[in-house]
Amino acid sequence: MTGLAALASLPVLPLGWFVGLQAQPAWIPAAYLGYLLVVIAIPGTMFWRRLTGGSGWFLVDAVLGTTFGLACEALIYPLGRWLDLPLIALVMPALALGLFLALPRKSRDDRPTPWWAVAGVMVSAGVVAAWFVRVGSRLIPVDGPSALRPNSDSPFQLSLAAELTHHFPPQVPYVAGEPLTYHWMAYNHIASAHWITGIELDVLTQRVVPFAFLLLTALGAAAVGMVLTGRAVAAPIAAGLTVLAGDLSPWSWTVTHTLYHDSPLSMGQMISPTQAYSTVIMLPLIAVTALLLRRKADQSKRRLAGLFLTATILITVLSISKATALPVYAAGIAAAWLYLTIKDRRLNVRALVLGVLVGTTYTVNFFVVLRAASHGMEVEPGKTFRNMLNTMLTGVDPSVQQGPDLLPIVTAAVLIGWLLPGAGILLIRRRLPRDPMAVMLLAGLIGAVAAASVLHHYSQAQVFFARTAFVYGVLLAAWGLSSLERRQYFAVAPALALGVTAIYVGRSRTDGLIRDCRDTACLDRIFAEPLVYALILTAAGVLVLGLLIRGSRRTWAAIAVAALLGLTVSPTIVSLRKFAFPPQTTYDSIAPGGIEAARFIRRQSGPDDLIATNIHCHAPTGSRCHSGSFWIPGYAERRVLVEGWAYTAQANNVHTSTDAVYGPFWDQAKLRINDAAFTAPTRDGLETLRTQYGVRWLLADERVNEVPEELAKLAELRFQSGTVRVYQLYPPRTPQGPRETP
């Protein structure tokens, strides 16, 4: 009966899936769901259970197997793309069947997952769906006039997805010939899904795949929580914290801030497929690490080999998924190795092998994929918090001086918020002696916070270390809370509510006040007062609850930890009310008619055709050129000779954001030849573009400059829409008349 009850709540997933994507034609969520089940989930689950031996719960293995299937697909797809077999992921079901027949699984009864645990996880999945309908699906418009006004990030992500759809090894699609020194594993999945389902890349990149990753993050955290604790109660707790928790956020103006909100339900996660994907891949890696480092008497050499093979695949994929992900895991595995070596008084080989795998893959990634490019990351302790403070003070009268206490207050609030989930370790009761996983998770969390505090990037990219460690904190908190006795939950529930209430009361003290400040004392007050109110209310509430309940010291600890965790629960709920309409640019960064023009080129050209354009800036006009224009290769799925040049290794190798996005292009000769085609075209100049650089198409935006009539005489006008004209370059005619063969 409990199994039937559990299954009865599972329809929440497909229902939430279709509800979350209700704005899309029904075939789109249906096609992706079918692809995910047949190509990824079922084969991935079979791979996972045969190689690792399973966790003992089928539903846990199904979730972790799905995420493992994504990793396998990410490794297989580049080979298929290189061999011109982009549908190669379709072999995964056959590979899974072969593995099933070659490695028969020992008969082992799976434990049933209690219905209430499944139902609790489904509640979190429902919250994700509701958030996506209300907030996530509105962050990046994909149609209508608003689609012409994105920030620079979403077209950048789309252009990389288009590049991996048609080419491997990848180049920077908006600066043809420049190697792509960026983490690109997430785009393998998007490209593969595009080939198999036929869904447009922009819908996949900005709607379907982010929603799938949000759901898989919540489900994956629930599954890993059960692996770590051995208790079903960890599943709804981990899923709930993943969805509802975030950071401290003591001020009203940080609710919608993207600087340091770490929850998957945040704009930072939505606009970064690489971050969302790395979180999804990190979860099965944590689970397989637990299976490896917790020795079991019945682990055969074959099973051990399967576990290490699984870990190798996940570590390899993670190393090229997000540059900030593997170092966090490395800090954790190093601490686990040290802990086990000291405890056992002998070298722990398993943790050492994992460490060697991490070091090897990261080294290969750094020198082969990233080509040793720093992308502007520097060691500047404390600058992270200074930049956060400056952003928070946007709009304040420049004459108002910052007091000396302001920066320490902001630093303390951010650090406390990042580290609060780690308090869950105080409640953990380990099932196994010398269990290193709590040490591993805590070290990863602390290491990530340290990296985010010491390193600095002009675009605050170092904060992704803390975002990566968010799931580490969630797992620690879930592990601690699930270690309690049943009667202690009657004390934990009001303590959690206390923390939530305290942070809401604190935040209410600042609503609409910061821009009204006219002196230093006012700034000090509105920064300090919310935090002080929240902490005093929390401390007083813990004292009252403890005295009323009169429990043991462990009960007191549970109340205190739960109240602290409650302080982090708010960004999701508040965002449902305040974050539904994110700001967009006031101008069309994508030219009117540009999307149609780019897709015309896609229909009429081959994947190796090259486009030249007069568009280089995010804004069509202005005193300075923000070189973050990337939309043409995203929609045309063709490389551009030179569009924008921001977010490249050469542009990023600077000290300030101004230099990175407003700096000049490094090859001025190429840029002059490119731009001359749109300002003073000549037959020789266009022929140089065609023969020397391989350009076949010209895309001109009349907002940038008036297109000379001479261009229509030298190239064929093929398409016109809005402010955009598309020309095609042909070889010159021979004396007899017909054109030369290209």
Q: Confirm if 646 and 628 have CB atoms less than 8 A apart.
A: yes
Burial of 675: CB neighbours in 10 Å, binned 0-12, 13-18, 19+:
middle
What is the residue whose two structure tokens read 């003070």? 393
Measured distance between the N- and C-terminal CA atoms of the chain, rounded to whole angstroms: 70
What is the C-alpha separation between 685 and 677, in angstroms, rounded?
7
Nearest to 158 by CA among 191, 180, 132: 191
What is the C-alpha separation between 742 and 736, in angstroms, rounded?
16
The reported pTM is 0.94
The one-character DSSP state at 642 is: S
What is the C-alpha separation between 510 and 524, in angstroms, rounded?
12
Nearest to 549 by CA among 495, 613, 615: 495
User: Token digits for 557?
Assistant: 């600890």
pLDDT value of position 512: 60
**What is the C-alpha R_g of the chain?**
27
pLDDT value of position 445: 96
Q: How many CB atoms lie within 10 A of CB 71?
A: 27
Q: Confirm if 386 and 408 have CB atoms less than 8 A apart.
A: no
User: Token digits for 114?
Assistant: 């209690």
pLDDT value of position 486: 87
pLDDT value of position 281: 97
pLDDT value of position 377: 82
The DSSP element (H or E) to which 457 belongs, if any, is: none
Instruction: Report CA-CA distances (Å) from 528 to 154, 394, 399, 403, 412.
Output: 36, 18, 20, 11, 11
pLDDT in tens, 4-61: 555 666 788 889 999 999 989 999 999 999 999 999 999 999 999 999 988 989 999 9
Q: Confirm if 672 and 653 have CB atoms less than 8 A apart.
A: no
User: Token digits for 157?
Assistant: 């992500």
Burial of 18: CB neighbours in 10 Å, binned 0-12, 13-18, 19+:
middle
Domain boundaries, the chain: 1-579, 594-728
User: Token digits for 322?
Assistant: 């997000």
- Name residues whose C-beta falls within 8 Å of residue 547's C-beta, 6 or more positions apart in sequence: none
- Name residues whose C-beta falls within 8 Å of residue 542's C-beta, 6 or more positions apart in sequence: 495, 498, 559, 560, 563
What is the C-alpha separation between 429 and 717, in angstroms, rounded?
72
pLDDT value of position 264: 75
Nearest to 165 by CA among 208, 199, 142: 199
pLDDT value of position 655: 66
pLDDT under 50: residue ranges of the chain: 1, 258-259, 580, 741-742
pLDDT value of position 194: 98
pLDDT value of position 259: 46
Amino acid identity of residue 159, one-letter, is: S
User: What's the per-residue H, E or C state across 84-112?
Assistant: CCCCHHHHHHHHHHHHHHHCCCCCCCCCC
- Name residues whose C-beta falls within 8 Å of residue 229's C-beta, 6 or more positions apart in sequence: 431, 478, 479, 482, 483
Cis geometry, peptide bond prior to residue 169 (ω within 30 degrees of 0): yes
